[in-house]
């Protein structure tokens, strides 16, 4: 969450502006397309890291988990929360970390569970 929040703080505004401009400029549209692929790669990195620790939810599947992470790290989400909702970057970081854990990781087992 910390790495992603820091990156969002630096680049989200520019990326959101690029998303808006993409329909009017082919070069910007190509840049946006590259960013979307990069975001998918980053989401896959997050999911694969969780899976490597054996903690990824079994009912989610890799593709579904990547979709969840991809959505949560959207710069538009960051901008809406830190702009319109006046969240700090630290609050976004904590929320993102918690959301990724809740949505993608198996819940902790209790001692009674086999």
- The per-residue pLDDT for 26 is 94
- 1 CA to centre of own chain: 9
| pLDDT tens-place string over residues 63-96 | 999 999 999 999 999 999 999 999 999 999 999 9
CA torsion sign for 67, 73, 75, 78 is: positive
Q: How confident is the model at residue 53 (pLDDT cuts 50, 70, 90)?
A: confident
d(CA 54, CA 98): 18
Residue 7 has pLDDT above 90, yes or no: no
Residue 54 has pLDDT above 80, yes or no: no
């Amino acid at each position: 969450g910390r790495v992603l929040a820091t990156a969002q703080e630096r680049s989200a505004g520019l990326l959101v502006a690029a998303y808006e401009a993409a329909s009017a400029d082919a070069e910007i549209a190509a840049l946006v397309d590259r960013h979307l692929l990069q975001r998918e790669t980053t989401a896959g990195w997050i999911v694969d890291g969780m899976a490597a620790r054996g903690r990824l939810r079994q009912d989610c599947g890799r593709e579904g988990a990547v979709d969840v992470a991809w959505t949560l790290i959207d710069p538009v989400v960051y901008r809406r929360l830190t702009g319109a909702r006046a969240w700090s970057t630290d609050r976004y970081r904590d929320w993102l970390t918690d959301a990724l854990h809740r949505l993608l990781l198996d819940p902790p087992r209790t001692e009674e569970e086999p």
